[in-house]
């Protein structure tokens, strides 16, 4: 019987593959209506193979676009963005959605993460495990279920969920960021015991809590004594959340603090002085890892900042020791490095040569720029945003050596 089922399944997949190939040929021939019909056969069959199902939806959206049926194209693209099993298909969905005239922000769930947090807290405090779980997913849900089962055994039947509810009675939301490209969000909250940063994802048009990214216990011996200090901490958390959002969207950490401006509401205010980078210090560990954002030295020779998602206050000596351990080299403010007109002309020519057609020319330019040292830094910093990927890549490599 099992062999018979397998044969039927294989035959069905082969038939759908034929529909798919026919759809591709018709799409190439610009017979958009016929192509869409073939891909619809595949989509509606709901094949168990993710790749086939999602690619059928990709090409059907393209067929709809070719036929001028933008509403249908938007529907397929939004479906890909929300449910695609692979990031590559999700990215194609984003491109198609934008091409069809859609705005990614409109795909956000109606309820913001903050509102969902309120519902979770209400459920926890009411010891309503069923409702609480509807707003959780992935690793966070598995963790809660595992810990709850163990807790009940060791605590004579008391619920871990109810215990959390008691602890989370006075919660303040410090920051909320949403990444429309990846359909994810981050929420940082604080309470008497410390601060928590949660990752959220969209499921069936609603935000659900998927993971606990960071937990920073309150440092009782360094409690914040005034509102100004608390504001600084909140700004640091906003910037930390923005860095995470930028990294998720671009698959690499930001090269400078200004790169995350689109992920922070009122960026100039949040970073205090976005123009000259002060009083914040931004740095990336030499061996990779999450960027650090630190305030300038505070009163008493201390710095306040974020290391791996945790807000810390350290002495200047501790800061330098930690930076050395993690391979941190502070980025220079290249805007303040002066170069003569002659040197600037020479540097511009060499930077352009980094994208030359021959390897020999590129290597020669790289060697000369490296020999110039800091004199080339200001223009190399600008060149990291050059539209030529070879120039921007090599400019960043050179900056990392200075």
Give me the phi and psi of 207, to 5 degrees please.
-80, 135
Give the count of beta carbons closer than 10 Å to the beta carbon of residue 137.
17
Query: What CATH number is given to the structural domain containing 362?
Result: 1.25.10
Do residues 89 and 167 share a domain? no
- Enclosing H/E stretch for 294: strand 292-295
- Which of these, 18, 89, 102, 15, lies nearest to 57 by C-alpha position? 89
How many structural domains compose the chain? Answer: 4
| Bridge partners (DSSP) listed for residue 186 | 177, 199
pLDDT over 60 (residue 299)? no
pLDDT at 165: 67
Token representation of residue 260:
């995350």
Q: What is the DSSP string of 173-223?
A: EEEEEEETTTTEEEEEEEETTEEEEEEEEEETTEEEEEEEEEEEE--GGG-
Do residues 189 and 210 share a domain? yes
pTM of the model: 0.49
Do residues 88 and 64 share a domain? yes
List pLDDT tens digits, range 317-361: 777 777 777 777 665 656 656 666 657 788 888 888 888 878 788
pLDDT averaged over the chain?
76
Do residues 96 and 119 share a domain? no
Of residues 66 and 15, the one with the higher pLDDT is: 66
List pLDDT tens digits, range 202-247: 877 889 888 887 777 665 444 434 444 566 677 777 777 788 778 7
To the nearest 10°, report the CA torsion of 202, 206, 211, 214: 100
Exposed, middle or buried by CB within 10 Å (0-12, 13-18, 19+), for 186?
Answer: buried
pLDDT over 90 (residue 69)? yes
Q: How confident is the model at residue 268 (pLDDT cuts 50, 70, 90)?
A: low
List pLDDT tens digits, range 104-122: 888 888 888 888 888 888 8
Report how far residue 32's alpha carbon sits from residue 70's, in angstroms, rounded to the nearest whole number.
13
pLDDT, average across residues 273-285: 56
Token representation of residue 134:
């509807």
**Given strand 184-191, what is the order of strands in its sheet?**
172-179, 184-191, 194-203, 206-217
Of residues 183 and 279, the one with the higher pLDDT is: 183
What residue numbers bound the domain in which 368 lies? 334-401
- Give the domain-ending residue among 199, 218, 237: 218
pLDDT over 90 (residue 56)? no
Strand, helix or coil for residue 341: helix
List pLDDT tens digits, range 142-188: 877 777 777 767 666 666 766 776 666 677 777 788 888 777 888 88
Report how far residue 347's alpha carbon sits from residue 339's, in angstroms, rounded to the nearest whole number.
10
pLDDT at 340: 65
Do residues 95 and 117 share a domain? no
Q: How confident is the model at residue 276 (pLDDT cuts 50, 70, 90)?
A: very low
Do residues 197 and 265 share a domain? no
Query: What CATH number is given to the structural domain containing 150?
Result: 3.10.450.50
384-389: long-range contacts, CB 8 A cutoff, minimum separation 24: 384/255, 386/351, 386/355, 388/355
Count of H-run helices and E-run strands, the chain? 16, 8
pLDDT at 272: 47
Give the count of beta carbons closer than 10 Å to the beta carbon of residue 342.
8
pLDDT at 229: 59
Do residues 302 and 377 share a domain? no
> What is the b/e burial string over 36-60, where b = at least 16 CB atoms within 10 angstroms of the residue's CB?
bbbbbbbbebebeeeebbbbbbbbb
Token representation of residue 204:
């069936």
Token representation of residue 246:
């930028």
Do residues 37 and 127 share a domain? no
Q: How confident is the model at residue 5 (pLDDT cuts 50, 70, 90)?
A: very low
Report how far residue 71's alpha carbon sits from residue 199's, in angstroms, rounded to the nearest whole number.
31
- Give the domain-ending residue among 61, 83, 106: 106
> What is the b/e burial string over 242-272, where b = at least 16 CB atoms within 10 angstroms of the residue's CB?
bbbbbbbeeeebbbebebbeebbeebeebbe
Annotate 113-170 with three-state secondary structure. HHHHHHHHHHHHHCCCHHHHHHCECHHHHHHHHHHHHHHHHHCCCCCHHHHHHHHCCC
Do residues 283 and 188 share a domain? no
- Which of these, 304, 320, 324, 369, lies nearest to 343 by C-alpha position? 369
- Which of these, 393, 345, 391, lies nearest to 372 by C-alpha position? 345
Do residues 309 and 231 share a domain? yes
List pLDDT tens digits, range 34-55: 999 988 988 888 877 778 888 8
- Give the domain-ending residue among 106, 138, 168: 106
């Amino acid at each position: 019987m099992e062999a018979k089922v397998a044969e039927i399944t294989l035959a069905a997949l082969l038939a759908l593959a034929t529909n798919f190939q026919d759809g591709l040929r018709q799409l190439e021939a610009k017979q958009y209506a016929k192509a869409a019909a073939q891909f619809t056969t595949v989509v509606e069959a709901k094949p168990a193979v993710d790749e086939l199902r999602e690619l059928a939806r990709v090409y059907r959206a393209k067929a709809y676009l070719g036929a001028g049926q933008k509403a249908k194209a938007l529907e397929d693209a939004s479906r890909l963005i929300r449910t695609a099993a692979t990031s590559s298909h999700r990215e194609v969905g984003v491109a198609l959605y934008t091409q069809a005239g859609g705005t990614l922000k409109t795909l956000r769930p109606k309820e913001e993460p903050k509102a969902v947090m309120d519902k979770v807290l209400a459920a926890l405090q009411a010891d309503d495990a069923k409702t609480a779980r509807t707003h959780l997913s992935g690793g966070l849900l598995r963790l809660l279920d595992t810990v709850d089962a163990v807790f009940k055994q060791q605590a004579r039947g008391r619920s871990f969920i109810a215990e959390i509810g008691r602890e989370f009675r006075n919660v303040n939301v410090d920051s909320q960021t949403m990444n429309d490209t990846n359909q994810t969000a981050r929420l940082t909250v604080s309470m008497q015991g410390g601060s928590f940063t949660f990752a959220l994802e969209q499921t069936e048009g609603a935000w659900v809590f998927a993971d606990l990214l960071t937990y920073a216990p309150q440092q009782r011996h360094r409690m914040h004594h005034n509102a100004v200090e608390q504001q600084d901490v909140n700004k640091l958390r906003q910037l930390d959340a923005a860095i995470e959002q930028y990294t998720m969207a671009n698959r690499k950490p930001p090269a400078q603090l200004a790169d995350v401006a689109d992920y922070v509401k009122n960026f100039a205010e949040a970073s205090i002085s976005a123009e000259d980078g002060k009083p914040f210090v931004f740095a990336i560990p030499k061996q990779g890892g999450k960027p650090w954002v630190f305030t300038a030295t505070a009163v008493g020779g201390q710095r306040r900042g974020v290391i791996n998602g945790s807000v810390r206050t350290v002495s200047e000596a501790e800061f330098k020791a930690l930076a050395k351990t993690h391979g941190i080299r502070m980025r220079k403010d290249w805007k303040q490095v002066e170069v003569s007109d002659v040197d600037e002309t020479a540097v511009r020519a060499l930077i352009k040569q980094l994208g030359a057609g021959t390897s020999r020319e590129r290597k020669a330019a790289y060697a000369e720029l490296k020999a110039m040292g800091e004199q080339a830094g200001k223009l190399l910093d600008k060149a990291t945003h050059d539209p030529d990927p070879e120039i921007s890549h090599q400019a960043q490599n050179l900056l990392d050596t200075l």
